[in-house]
Structure 1
Amino acid sequence: MSRFQVRKVAVLGAGVMGAQIAAHLVNVNVPVVLFDLPAKEGPKSGIALKAIDNLKKLKPAPLGTPDLASRIQPANYEEHLELLKGCDLIIEAIAERMDWKLDLYNKIAPFIAPHAIVASNTSGLSITKLSEALPEEIKPRFCGIHFFNPPRYMYLVELIPTPTTEAAYLDQLEGFVTSTVGKGVVRAKDTPNFIANRVGIAGMLATIHEAEKFGLSYDVVDDLTGKKFGRASSGTFRTADVVGLDTMAHVIKTLQDNLATDPFFPSYATPKVLAALIEKGALGQKTGAGFYKKEGKNILRLDPATASYVAGGGKADALVDRILKKPAAERIKLLRESTNPQAQFLWAILRDAFHYVAVHLADIADSAREIDFAMRWGFGSKQGPFELWQEAGWQQVATWIKEDIDAGKALCNAPLPAWVFDGRDGVHTPEGSWSAAQGKYLPRSSLPVYQRQHFPESVLGSGAVNPLTSGTELFKNDEVRVWTLDGEVVIASITAKLHLISPTVTEGLLKAVELAEAGYKGLVVWSPDDVFSAGANLEALMPVFMKSGAKGIAPEEKKLQDMMLRVRYATVPTIAAMRGIALGGGCELAVHCSQRVAAMETYVGLVEVGVGLVPGGGGLTYIARRAAEKGAATPTVDLLNFAKDGFQAAAMATVGTSALESRKLGYLLDSDVIVPNKDELLFVAINQAKAMFNAGYRAPAKTLFPVAGRSALATIKASLVGMRDGGFISAHDFHIASLIADVVCGGDVDAGTLVSEEYLMALERKHFCGLLEHPKTQERIMGMLQTGKPVRN
């Protein structure tokens, strides 16, 4: 496919959104110029420089690694407009003021390259009105682009065309944002607040209204409307605090200013409690107080009756908790019929949401799919409103909504559209999703970029294939499925919970290597969710340990290590296709593959110290081998210099908080591929396997390599003594770290002694099994199995 070549992007506006959009662009290796007004004092580009420096301090981190800030070029409108001529994409992200934006467009217009796309990152201003300030030759290349905050982590980007936007340019931009920037694109109509904020903020306003009606406190509402309700864990009021109450009020005002004829208009009134908080400067998390306030370790909630903060922590009633665990149809029926105020509240906000999206579907979106994806990707909902309605029984729920409208219980008396009652079972079908505006089902986009997604996210009812029943199955046991999608590359998918590596998984992966070598071009280890592998399954080994102790575990540990070496020395390329967490044994499996293809948000690390163990699946052997490989390039440097970073990462259980940081820790190599869009991971991994095979892949030669030896071990242990005696680590931490150092340095041998992987793995195995007998390690393991949290002892 042809690709929109973006050599450089200009971001106009170094505020919160502009700076963080720039940060994410350099995360995905796109050069950026960040513009702002000329500073009145100091360097002319001082505003942009300060914003760039601030990116290194923000949490959650907008940059994959802090040093990437240096790749953002600071600029100002007075000195550097000529730089725009070298930019293929210009993203305007200044304050939400129509007059300021129009003034800036007039200023930059003479410097825009004849092929460049110009996009305004706005959360609700009319894109069509903005376009009117542009010269005629730029209008076909202008559109809206709406990133959600924080841009690195939020998957949704809305693209909004104007009547003069040429389809080809919008298609190019969608391809770039999807594949290069790694986002999920939803095309929105040019209506106030577009899709996600229109539906999401209307829903938050309805929730505030219904909470007041049913007399529920903010903490209880957040517990009810969080994860157990299939929405973001922050619930409603905590989300408002994180977003910023002033930002929320701004979006509400857009609704008030532009939707006077909307039947839901009365519900857009600014809640009194919100107005009061804003008036006294309590804007949420950024000011330290909003609907919640943190005092020490305590989270207090606002009591609107007294305007004071009181103890929080209120939870949903047990009855409602039980109802929320039921299947959708039963769940919604029970909520509607219950006399419990919390249940009635939940039915009310569901009814309000279904009513709202049905009435507004024709106005704000091309189809129901765009609304459901927008709410999933922009507001963290597990399902979009149409999906949930469809799953719960379309006609039955529609009847209940109508009854509430007729009884005056709904937010407004607008009837449901006629199409709701035309006998349908829902709005999503294998044919496509319902377009109320066009009166037909619209299929998903067929742009070439989506050919890179073998199993894209889908909506309920669309008939999407399940990856774990797709392709041709070659082998299956209880925890691994081995299959092929194209008859050329084998795929191994771990199906165990959290993809934990048990003896059954070890058996399945060995079978996958055997099958791949027997007649395929490679093996890809991939699973269709946000976990590569959370590590070894200690619980699966418990019966063996209870029966035979550590000596019974040793043979199982050796089987695991042998499997890792089998993966490493396979005669065909083995690819770890990683996303989400790759911890402990998952990290070890990845580093033993020929190559890693990792999604940007991949978190990799050896974390065994948390359960009182040393890595036992070859992770420490890998660190020692990598140190030797680095040392071979600079033989005059002591091996300890190369081994110490790997030792420290394992001893401190350091986890890379992005694929980029995982690369700095050494768990990904410079030759590994980082994929911005998680849904392209399998496509890229399969193609990497084929490319390596077709290039004449040969497994690495088995060789001996030098280790740092006893002198390096003594140096590391001396520093550990200082940490222990200073109270920074416990005696047991000291013991575990010393054992990690023993393996990384090669044990009690001279510096430069040549060893094999098997020798180091035997050391790993010895220390792993020895620690299993230690009471403090047993405390850590039981604590983790029982609570999921590490025990510090």
Structure 2
Amino acid sequence: MSKSIRKAVVIGSGVMGSGIAAHLANVGIACHLLDVVPGTLTPEEQAKGLTPQHPAVRSRLAAGAVARLAKTKPAPLYDESFAARITPGNLEDHLHVVGEADWVIEVVVENLQVKKELLRRVEEHWKPGTVVSSNTSGISINAMSADCGAEFKRHFLGTHFFNPPRYMQLLELIPGEHTDPQLLQDMKGFCSRVLGKGVVTAKDTPNFIANRIGTYGLLVTLQAMTEKGFTVEEIDAVTGPAMGRPKSATFRTLDLVGLDTFVHVANNVYENVTDEAEKQVFAVPGVLRTMVEKGWLGEKSGQGFYLKRKGEDGRSEILSLDLGTMDYRSQKKTGSGSLEAAKLAKGAREKVKALIGAGDKYSDLAWDILKLVLVYSAERLGEIADTVQEIDEAMRWGFNWELGPFETWDALGLVRSVNRMEAEGLTVPAWVKEWIEAGNRSFYRQEEGRTFYVHQGAYTALDQPKEVISLRALKERNKVVRSNSGASLIDIGDGIACLEFHSPNNAIGADILTMIGQSLEEVRRGFDGLVIANQGRNFCVGANLMILLMEAQDEEWEEIDGIIRLFQNTMYKVKRFEKPVVAAPHRMTLGGGVEACMPADRIVAAAETYYGLVEVGVGVIPAGGGCKELALRIARNNPHPDSDLQPYLNQVFETVGMAKVSTSGHDAKNLGLMTPGDRIVANQDHLIYEAKQSALQLVASGYEPVREEKFRVAGAEGKAVLTLGALGLRQGGYISDHDLHIAKKLAHVLAGGDVPAGTLVTEQYMLDLEREAFLSLCGEPKTQARMSHMLSKGKALRN
């Protein structure tokens, strides 16, 4: 990239503006957040004797938005301290900071005239070379900048962040007709690499890509529902995971987005397209208008298509709206052969095939919705985006579909589905028919580990940036060195191998532990370093709980002892390995997943990593080396013999004892579960590449393996302090008797047992304490009840 962005100005401090400013702060960009000067004083300001001219009053809107970031859920900031990177101000006193910025982002009300006037004011302070963008969900970029100067237009484009900006991967870049092509490429690279976004280039058309197709899909779904008499819950059962879509499906999604927002987006297309047939689809149905008039806007108003209320028994119940009567009622269970077939199928492609192919009323409903969305997407190719890839990526990243429209079409069978569409009287776009007539059977093709897609009548190679390493593609190119049912070792090039977990939920069992040991041997013989990473939904949810519970219920204590010894010994081998090991966790990384990362020389984590030792939730303590590693870190960070270990021990005890999980990779450092030297990567798609680079750096620096060391523990005195704290929680009613029992075991292990304070212990001594405590807790009926509850309900039991 030819330019760097270190300073930004965000204009507009509403939900989106403050969220964008927060995400810029997340990645280290200093940011000014500006808004209008308030017209009146608040009662609080009057009580303080402030005047309208006081700086605190004039910048109140932006300052209030920054203050609310720490309280907003889900958290916009990776770390609350990052709010200090945002400077609040106002448009009258501080607009001059535009002249100091590398990037100015306008995020004001969706009104063309308001945006044009603001751009005029921005241009007065603008310095040549500064990027200026509008965050709009559908207003024309060209119309917005029509009155601006030629050089300004070259540096102006649309940047459509999806809400919430931290979590939603999609960022649509919309160049105007005068936008510098090189600036567009520079911004695409910057937003991908630094902001961690999935970036697509959209055309300057109403609602761009994702909202254009997504809104169309929601409207034709509502139309099919009303025509055929389906209920709200039936529609959501069909249009959720069974179709490769999120659990929020159709109506929960609308409730989350807000019906007023959705109506605005639909109206934008209705008012700006000329094709009458398309216009009619985007005409907002009367039921939506009625709900907006009633104030039933979804979650932000407390009710929409769903309403949560407490029943007479005090339990919460979620009611659904009957569109016929406009009354809320209890939900009716939805089930059928097609839904069950989709549930049992593995992967989104097989799920949607099973759903459509089962031949019942829900299959027909799914087909009636999908066929229209697929044809509409094909009709819009060239108008809203240049490639099928960009349309598919926009829907996957923006609406969390597992398959984009053209990927879905391939899954259903392109030729077969087109024949069915035409038999049912649907007009399929000419370019699709020509593509089939040329002998092609899919929009995408895999060949020698590379992906090709249809573009301008021919297959074109998908050009992945070097930062994106696909383990699936490497496996297709026969780069697997060794594999079993739980994990594979893959050659990712440049002398580095990657150990990939692929067991169910990536849970650690004997198969993964065996493969770790075998992988170390393979790396010892033929590689320079090892990366532990995978591209599953989550990195690892912990150890295989089902096996542990079965063994405990059968009182097979030697078997459990053997499992834990294998886990401990394997992690010990990783830590002592003579070549560098880098762990690259992402998203849910819990329990044993954390313990699989801790022995690594370095952790390179995705920013969205939710990392925690949560074993107490199932009635045990960490026993794969987690307690030992935390105690070792405390001693290592306090090397002087007289330094007090207790404050740090207290913090670790609370973190593990309360099963705290980080809200980000940065927060994992705050919790002490990662070290200051560990790296955080914003773009999860770049994670394996960055981990590989870290491994290569360790190799180049002349890596030496970690040597075993004895270390100080807090001993019996430290254990007593921890136990006293747990007793206080029990007396206050915050924890149960079994929680207290577990806490005492945890205190015993973290403090190093009953030895005198300051005693030097070995790592093996600490591992033995872990294993003994774990085994004794496995024998507790209440622990077994917790394990069973977690397996059946997916959440912790507080017994």
Please confirm whether the aligned pair reaches a TM-score higher than 0.5, indicating the same fold.
yes
Identical residues among aligned pairs (%): 36
What do the CA deviations read for 1:510-545 (whole angstroms, capped 9, x no partner)? 222233334532111111223222111233456765
Q: How does 1:404-419 map to 2 (within 5 A)?
A: 404-405=424-425, 416-419=429-432
Determine the structure 2 residue equivalent to 1:728.
Answer: 734
Aligned amino acid, residue 107 of structure 1: R
Structure 1 range deviating more: 472-481 or 365-374: 472-481
Q: Secondary structure at the match of 1:19?
A: helix
Does the aligned pair in 1 maintain the 2:353–2:411 contact within 8 Å?
A: no
Matched, 1:444 2:444: no
Mapping of residues 118-129 of structure 1, within 5 Å: 118-129=132-143
Measured after TM superposition, the shift of residue 480 of structure 1 is 2.4
Does residue 174 of the first structure (1) align with residue 191 of the second (2)? no
Question: CA offsets, 1:440-498, max 9 Å, x none?
Answer: 5454356xxx2111229xxxxxxxx5344446433333322223221511221122222
Q: Distance in 2 between matches of 1:287 and 1:222?
A: 21
Question: 2:404 is matched with which residue?
Answer: 384
Deviation at 1:324, TM superposition (A): 6.6
Report Cα offsets for 1:626-664 as digits up to 9, x if no partner: 11122237x765211011111111111111121111111
Match of 2:444 in 1: 428
Secondary structure of 1:604's match?
Answer: strand
3-state DSSP class of the match of 2:373?
A: helix
1:201 aligns with 2:207: no
Give the drift of 1:343: 3.0
Matched residue of 2:728: which SS? helix
1:411 aligns with none
Report what 2:663 is aligned to. 657
Question: Residues 641-680 of structure 1 correspond to what in structure 2 (within 5 A)?
Answer: 641-680=647-686
Partner secondary structure for residue 565 of structure 2:
helix
Shift of 1:170: 0.3
> Does the 8 A contact of 2:604 with 2:690 survive in 1?
yes
How far residue 332 of structure 1 moved from its aligned partner, in angstroms, is 5.7
Q: Residues 122-163 of structure 1: CA distance to partner in whole angstroms, max 9, x if unpaired?
A: 100001111213221111111111111111111111111111
**Alpha-carbon distance in structure 2 between the residues aligned to 1:399 and 1:724:** 68
Decide whether aligned partners of structure 1 residues 323 and 69 sit closer, same or farther in structure 2, where only a CA change above 3 A counts.
closer
Cα offset, 1:727, TM superposition: 2.0
Q: Could you tell me how far 1:395 is from its partner in structure 2?
A: 1.8
Preserved CA contact (<8 Å) 1:4 1:173: no
Q: CA contact under 8 A between 2:352 and 2:411: conserved in structure 1?
A: no
**Does the Cα contact within 8 Å between 1:564 and 1:617 map onto a contact in 2?**
yes
* CA distance in 2 between partners of 1:478 and 1:333 (Å): 25
- The offset of 1:334, in angstroms, is 7.5
Q: How is 1:308-387 mapped onto 2 (pairs within 5 angstroms)?
A: 308-322=327-341, 335=356, 338=359, 340-387=360-407
Counting only pairs closer than 5 Å after superposition, residues 233-632 of structure 1 correspond to structure 2 as 233-296=247-310, 297-322=316-341, 335=356, 338=359, 340-405=360-425, 416-421=429-434, 422-423=436-437, 424-429=440-445, 432-435=452-455, 438-445=456-463, 450-455=465-470, 466-470=473-477, 472-541=479-548, 549-632=556-639
Q: Deviations over 1:258-280 (max 9, x none)?
A: 01325322111111111011112
CA–CA distance in 2 between the matches of 1:716 and 1:345?
Answer: 59
CA contact (8 A) 1:229 1:324 kept: no
Is 1:756 the counterpart of 2:762 in the alignment? Answer: yes
Distance 2:351 2:565 in 1: 49
1:410 aligned residue: none
Match of 1:14?
Answer: 13
Shift of 1:313: 4.8
**What SS does structure 2 have at the residue aligned with 1:363?**
coil
Sort the Cα spacing of 1:324 and 1:262 in 2 relative to 1 into closer, same or farther, 3 A.
farther
Distance 2:416 2:482 in 1: 43
Letter in 1 for 2:454: W
Give the AA of the match of 2:269.
Answer: L
What's the TM-score once normalised by structure 1's chain length?
0.93
Instruction: Identify the range of structure 1 (380-389 vs 534-543) with the bigger mean alpha-carbon deviation.
Output: 534-543
- 2:698 is matched with 692
Q: Deviations over 1:579-617 (max 9, x none)?
A: 122111110111111100001111111111121111110
Contact kept? 2:345, 2:354, Cα under 8 Å: no
Give unmatched runs, 5+ long, in structure 2: 42-55, 311-315
**Residue number in structure 1 paired with 2:743:** 737
- Tell me the secondary structure at the aligned position of residue 572 of structure 1: coil
- 1:27-176 equivalences under 5 Å are 27-40=26-39, 41=41, 42-176=56-190
The AA in structure 2 aligned to 1:161 is: P
Going from structure 1 to structure 2, the CA distance change for 1:119 and 1:471 (only over 3 Å counts) comes to farther
Structure 2 Cα separation of the partners of residues 356 and 111 of structure 1:
43
Letter in 2 for 1:765: R
Q: C-alpha root-mean-square deviation of aligned residues, in Å?
A: 2.2
Q: Distance in 2 between matches of 1:106 and 1:208?
A: 41
* Letter matched to residue 286 of structure 2: K
Residue pair 1:214, 1:342 contacting (<8 A) in 2 also: no
Normalising to structure 2: TM-score of the pair? Answer: 0.92
- Tell me if the contact between 2:8 and 2:101 (Cα under 8 Å) persists in the aligned partners: yes
Q: Aligned with 1:137: secondary structure?
A: helix
The verdict on how the C-alpha distance between 1:182 and 1:389 changes in structure 2, with shifts beyond 3 A counting, is same
Stretch moving more, 349-358 or 418-427: 418-427
SS for the counterpart of 1:74 is strand
2: CA distance between counterparts of 1:670 and 1:299? 44
Correspondences of 1:743-782 after superposition (within 5 Å) = 743-782=749-788
Distance 1:336 1:655, change over 3 A: closer
Instruction: Supply the distance in 1 between the matched residues of 2:155 and 2:758 (Cα, whole angstroms).
Output: 62
**Partner Cα distance (2:212, 2:320) in 1:** 27
Letter of the structure 1 residue corresponding to residue 38 of structure 2: A
CA 1:313–1:468 in 2, change beyond 3 Å: closer, same or farther? farther
Residue type of the alignment partner of 2:788: M
Contact 1:93–1:121 (Cα < 8 Å) also in 2: yes
Provide Cα deviations, 1:184-232, integer angstroms capped at 9, x if missing partner.
1111111100010000001101001100011111122112211122111
Does residue 718 in structure 1 map to residue 724 in structure 2?
yes
Contact 1:550/1:770 (8 A) holds in 2: no
**Kindly tell me: are residues 289 and 662 of structure 1, through their superposed partners in 2, closer, same or farther at Cα, counting changes over 3 Å?**
same
Q: Write the distance in 2 (CA, Å) between the matches of 1:703 and 1:323.
A: 53
The Cα shift of 1:790 comes to 2.5
Measured in 1, the distance between the counterparts of 2:678 and 2:710 equals 24
Unaligned runs of 5+ in 1: 407-413, 457-464
Change (3 A) 1:468 1:776: farther
**C-alpha distance 404-250 of structure 1, shift in aligned 2 (>3 A):** same
| Cα distance in 1 for residues equivalent to 2:294 and 2:735 | 45
Structure 1 residue 500, shift from structure 2 partner = 1.8
Q: Classify 1:344/1:518 alpha carbon distance in 2 versus 1 (closer, same or farther; 3 Å).
A: closer
- In 1, Cα distance between equivalents of 2:765 and 2:58: 60
Q: Secondary structure at the match of 1:716?
A: helix
